Amino acid sequence: MAVKYIDELKASAVELVIYAQYDPETATGAITLVANELGLSKEALRIWVSRTRNLVSQIQRSQLNFKVRTVGLEPSWPKPEGRTGF
């Protein structure tokens, strides 16, 4: 039977992993360390962290696209051949 975790626990665990991964002393094995400390499944925590990172990336891309459309700027990176706009 699958274990259900409350959203606050998930958010706190993901935050702890992300902070640990930015510290060179705890970057390696951060998910295992946090999972063991909180009594969580390492695989579940890995999935939560991955989903959070993907969501943050989507939000950042969305904000960039919004800024470009709102201000009417074109991105400074080269566009692939045959494509125009966003």
Listed by start position, the domains of the chain span 7-71
What's the pTM? 0.67
Predicted pLDDT of residue 57: 83
What residues contact residue 38 under an 8 Å CB cut-off, 6+ apart? 9, 13, 16
The confidence band for 13, taking pLDDT boundaries of 50, 70 and 90, is very high
pLDDT tens digits, residue range 33-86? Answer: 999 999 999 999 999 999 999 988 888 777 776 666 666 556 566 666 655 554
Which tokens in the block code for residue 13?
A: 């665990």
- In terms of CATH architecture, what is 7-71? Orthogonal Bundle (1.10)
Distance of alpha carbon 39 from alpha carbon 61, whole angstroms = 34
Predicted pLDDT of residue 56: 86
Mean pLDDT, to the nearest integer, of 16-40?
94
